[in-house]
Amino acid sequence: MRLTGNIGITGNQNFANISSVSIYNYNSNVNYNQFGQGVSLNMLGNPDLEPQKTQQISTSLDFNLFNNRLTGYFNLYKKETNPLIVPVDLPSSTGVFSYPYNVGSLTYKGAESKITFFPIYDLAKGLTWSLGLTASSYKSEYNGFGDLLASLNKKQENDKNLVRYIDGNSAEAIWAIKSLGIDPATGREMFLTKEGQYTFDYSAANIANVGNTVANMEGVISTNLRYKQFTFGLGLRYRIGGDIYNSALFNKVENISYTNITNNQDKRALYERWKQPGDISQFKGISQTSTTPISSRFVQSNNTLSSESLNIGFLFNNEPWLKSLGLESLSTNFMANDFLYFSTVRRERGIDYPYARTFAFSLKASF
């Protein structure tokens, strides 16, 4: 048994370019005039910005029980970043798209553990079987914002997730307007306002927390079996809880603009969208070509179970025919990585990055 702890402070890591003076870029070489070239402002300087500091504390307990039959560790950690640099998107009239502020703090609390258990451990017979489990989960929380950012919110694009900085909220929360589905009579989307009213009109004021991308728990379940010369190992990655924003549905089925209707589109855009009064459909009316704002309709819970690794092997040694081939031993292995994927969200890999089931076979000879 061993108990350890550590504490440390790190500065800015993985950080974007932020400067205390403004930075300019030359206009591209196709843009010039009779006076020559020009430069334009690329990034507005922020002279008062302090770098981020993150303090990390962690403690872990390693254990080894029942004569090596049960081993593993538990690890708890807490990371606090204070002051936080928050890149806040301002209205486009300020001319600035992402202005860094020193405000608030972000705390991550998490736990990790790994346990390996040998139900059968018989070295005499050459039979061992182990089961392993790793698990990790974490939670994040903002603090210290108060009302400072009440009128400023971070946003990326019109169709991506919205993130809000409010005390007590998680950094990975998904913010969108609550949707009540498509009205069968008109084909338009119905939204739920903050006061609990039904409305057809989209208003950014009604955006609420509709999910969180962080899983409740994720890790790997594995099993390893060894019987004399035969080995078998299987690992499965699991993820329980957490939501994801389905941008494929959003882009391919719904947000088809009037000019793109003339091109080929996803089949679901015709068959699954609302067409006439009385249709019960998940997607808005086919004649609606205005842009769909992000709503909870596209946020789905993301539980997955996927293959991490598979390994089946057989080792030939002490066989008579090995000597005649001049070999000391021959090891054969069959391996696979991506061959299984179960999820509550239908993933669309598209034509750029299709899902490939790969299997490999190897022969290793030693002389």
Partner 1 sequence: MKTIIKSSLYLFALATTIFSSCSDYLNVQPEDKIMETQLFSTPQGIRSVLNGMYISLSGNALYGDNMTLSTMDILAQRYNVPSTHNLNKISTYAYGDSPASSRLETIWSNSYSLILNVNSFLENIDKYKGVLDAKTEAIYKGEALAIRAFMHFDLLRLYGPRYSTVDSTKQALPYYVNTQNTINPLLPANSFLDKVLEDLEHAEQLLAADAIITNGVTSVGATTAENFVTADRNYRLNYYAVLGLKARAYLYRGDKVNALKYANLVIDVADKFKWTTSANALSEKQNPDRVFSTEMIFGVLNTQLYSRYNSLFDPSITDKNILAPIESRLNTLYENNENDYRFNLNWAKPSTGAKTYKVFLKYADIVDKERTYRFTIPVLKISEMYYIAAESEPAAATGIAKLNIVRANRGLLPLAATANLTTELQKEYQKEFFGEGQLFYYYKRRNVTSVANGSAASGNVTVNYNIPLPLSESQYRNN
Pick the closer one to partner 1 by CB: 92 or 366.
92
CB of 244 to partner 1, least distance (A): 22
Spatial separation of the C-alpha atoms in residues 234 and 294, rounded to whole Å: 40
Contact 240, 217 (CB under 8 A): yes
Q: Which stretch binds partner 1 (CB under 8 A): 58-66, 129-137, 181-189, 287-295?
A: 287-295
Q: Which stretch binds partner 1 (CB under 8 A): 29-37, 179-187, 219-227, 303-311?
A: 29-37
The correct pick among 14, 40, 264, 358 for binding partner 1 (CB under 8 A) is: 40
Is residue 99 part of the contact set for partner 1 (CB under 8 A)?
yes
Pick the closer one to partner 1 by CB: 255 or 304.
255
Spatial separation of the C-alpha atoms in residues 190 and 181, rounded to whole Å: 6
CB of 252 to partner 1, least distance (A): 16
Q: Which stretch binds partner 1 (CB under 8 A): 33-41, 125-133, 136-144, 269-277?
A: 33-41
Tell me the two tokens of residue 365: 């000879």
Pick the closer one to partner 1 by CB: 11 or 278.
11
Pick the closer one to partner 1 by CB: 21 or 356.
21
The correct pick among 10, 42, 265, 318 for binding partner 1 (CB under 8 A) is: 42
Is residue 41 part of the contact set for partner 1 (CB under 8 A)?
yes
**Which pairs count as long-range contacts for 154-159, CB under 8 Å and 24+ apart, including other chains?**
154/86, 154/87, 154/88, 154/89, 155/89, 156/89, 158/291, 158/293, 158/294, 159/247, 159/250, 159/251, 159/255, 159/294
User: Hey, which residues does 54 pair with through a beta bridge?
Assistant: 10, 81
The correct pick among 5, 6, 8, 23 for binding partner 1 (CB under 8 A) is: 23
Pick the closer one to partner 1 by CB: 64 or 291.
291
Phi, psi for 64 (deg, rounded to 5):
-150, 95
- DSSP at 123: T
Specify the residue for token string 């728990």: 217
CB of 239 to partner 1, least distance (A): 32
Q: How many CB atoms lie within 10 A of CB 336?
A: 17
- DSSP at 47: T
The correct pick among 13, 67, 151, 366 for binding partner 1 (CB under 8 A) is: 151
Count of residues interacting with partner 1 (CB under 8 A):
48
Is residue 199 part of the contact set for partner 1 (CB under 8 A)?
no
Name the burial class of residue 361, with classes exposed (0-12), middle (13-18) and buried (19+) by CB atoms within 10 angstroms of its CB. exposed
Q: Which stretch binds partner 1 (CB under 8 A): 20-28, 278-286, 326-334, 355-363?
A: 20-28
